[in-house]
Structures are given as C-alpha cells and as structure tokens.
Amino acid sequence: MSLQGKTAFITGGAQGIGLAIGRQLAQDGAAVILADINGEKVVAAGEELRREGCKALPVIMDVADEQSVNQAVATASRELGAPTILVNNAGIYTKTPAIEVDLKIWHKVLDTMLTGPLLAARAVAPAMIAANWGRIINMGSMMSYLAFGQDVGYSVVKAGMLGLTRSLAAELAPHQICVNTICPGNIMTELMEETARNIEKRDGMAPGTFLEQRPKQIPLGRIGAPEDIARTASYLCSDAADYVTGQSLHVNGGLYQS
C-alpha cells in the first residue's frame, strides 16, 4: 500500500485507461478523483470503484476549461485532500487530415489534450510543491513518435506531451516532483475502437479487420489491456520510481522499439 495517505487526480477517469489507473492507484492505497466531462459515466465509475472498496470521488470537469479544472481540483482537495498525483489522461480521437482539418476541431484537440494537461498541472502543482513530493503522468502515445496520416491533431498533441513532460520535469525537480510520459501502443478501449474504424475507412478495409489483424503485428501477440498501462502508472507513482523523471515509457507489446 505504497500510496496510503496520498490523493490522485485522474483526468478522463470515467472509462478505459483512466478508470483502470484509478482502480490500480486506489488498490495501491490512494484516494482517487475520477475527473471527466462525461457526467453519467464518471458517476457510474465512481460507484463501481466504491463498491470494490476503493476511496473514489467522481467529478464532472472539462479539462479544456480553466475554471472547470480549478473547481474540480478545489472540490477534490476539500473532499479527499490536495492531490499530489496527477494523471493527465483525458483524450479524444478525431480524424484530422492536415490539409483540410477544420480549425475548430484542431483547436478542440489542442485544448483537450495539450492545454488541458498544462491547466491541470498548474492547478495541482502548489500542493505538490508544499508537500515537497509529487508525481505527474502525462499520457502520450506511439504517435508521440510516429505519424500515419490524417491525424495531424493527435500527432501534434502527443508529441507536444513530450515537451510538456520535459518542461515540467525540469521546472519541478527541485521540489521532488517527478514528471513522466507513458506512451501506450494499442490498448483495447472505446478510443481504440473509434481509431480502428477510422483506419479501416481510410485504408479501405472491411469493418473489424484492423483489430482482428493487429495482434499479428505486435511481437507480444496481443492488443494491450488498460491494466497494462495502469501497472506502469502504479510503478511511476511508487517510491521505486523516485529517480525517474522527464522520461517516456513505451508500453506497446514491442510494436516498435525505442
């Protein structure tokens, strides 16, 4: 129970990777705040974790909106204690072809997945500095490093996550705050299903083909589970990772090597 007494704030915690991280950090002893724009799902996720005996609080929040983020962190701090663990996980997938992307969509992608993590980091940093301890985990992607076409928004924000991680790591290191990126490969979630449908349309593949063929292209032979990422987050939050900051960890079944 290495995280006993600590509070973790997880954006996009209503489902998928965020919810798995919430469950894992709660099992490690933390009180967890699941902060998500989807009110119905986040309330259900909070109830699910509480039924399992976890200390969990759902909060409705739009990570792209500064006031909403500050309010969510204030509520979390009042109810469960100021968070000293932040997981910047909220994400959306929208097709964004570089030469014709609608700028409204472009800005939404950047606001949600790049500005949002900065806003959340700013909201939680004072408590981390006061505690002289903290962990920030930013969710990157294989697309922090690779591009496949028609995804300029996602590619730019996920590459930007590496810069955000490096900058926060350098700035916050004097306060013993470790900041790292996890770069998942293909992880089975709703976002993955949406991405697969887009890839199939883009490449003229029959529905279902991508997810059926993908395991054969992954050296470990399977698509990842949200729990694969949750265990990595657990490690990064633990004392075992006290000397790890400014890094990106690739959790991808060997899909590419770094």
Q: Which residues are catalytic?
A: 154
> Based on CB atoms, which residue is closest to ligand NAD, 165 or 189?
189
Should residue 38 be labelled a site residue for ligand NAD when binding is judged by CB under 6 A? Answer: yes
Q: How far is the CB of 176 from ligand NAD (least distance, A)?
A: 26
Among 115, 165, 189, 234, binds ligand NAD (CB under 6 A): 189
Span 225-254, contacts to ligand NAD by CB under 6 A: none
Q: How far is the CB of 56 from ligand NAD (least distance, A)?
A: 15
User: Which one of the spans 36-44, 72-80, 126-134, 231-239 is the region binding ligand NAD (CB under 6 A)?
Assistant: 36-44
105 burial via Cβ count (<10 Å: 0-12, 13-18, 19+): middle
How many other C-beta atoms are found inside a 10 Å radius of the C-beta of residue 226?
21
> Based on CB atoms, which residue is closest to ligand NAD, 136 or 187?
187
The letter for the amino acid at 33 is: I
DSSP 115-165: IHHHHHHHHHHHHHHHHT-EEEEEE--GGGT---SSBHHHHHHHHHHHHHH
Should residue 184 be labelled a site residue for ligand NAD when binding is judged by CB under 6 A? Answer: yes
DSSP 61-90: --TT-HHHHHHHHHHHHHHH---SEEEE--
> Based on CB atoms, which residue is closest to ligand NAD, 3 or 61?
61
Should residue 62 be labelled a site residue for ligand NAD when binding is judged by CB under 6 A? Answer: yes
Among 44, 92, 146, 244, binds ligand NAD (CB under 6 A): 92
Among 8, 14, 26, 179, binds ligand NAD (CB under 6 A): 14
How far is it, in rounded angstroms, from Cα 158 to Cα 163? 9
53 within 8 A of 72, measured Cβ to Cβ = no
The letter for the amino acid at 224 is: G
188 burial via Cβ count (<10 Å: 0-12, 13-18, 19+): middle
> Based on CB atoms, which residue is closest to ligand NAD, 96 or 112?
112
User: Which one of the spans 77-85, 94-102, 181-189, 235-243 is the region binding ligand NAD (CB under 6 A)?
Assistant: 181-189
DSSP assignment, residue 241?
Answer: G
Should residue 87 be labelled a site residue for ligand NAD when binding is judged by CB under 6 A? Answer: no
Should residue 21 be labelled a site residue for ligand NAD when binding is judged by CB under 6 A? Answer: no
104 within 8 A of 209, measured Cβ to Cβ = no
Should residue 255 be labelled a site residue for ligand NAD when binding is judged by CB under 6 A? Answer: no
Size of the site for ligand NAD (CB under 6 A): 28
> Based on CB atoms, which residue is closest to ligand NAD, 129 or 251?
251
Q: What is the maximum span of the chain, computed from C-alpha positions, in angstroms?
A: 54
Give the residues lining the site for ligand NAD (CB under 6 A). 11-12, 14-18, 36-38, 61-64, 89-92, 112, 139, 141, 184, 186-187, 189-192
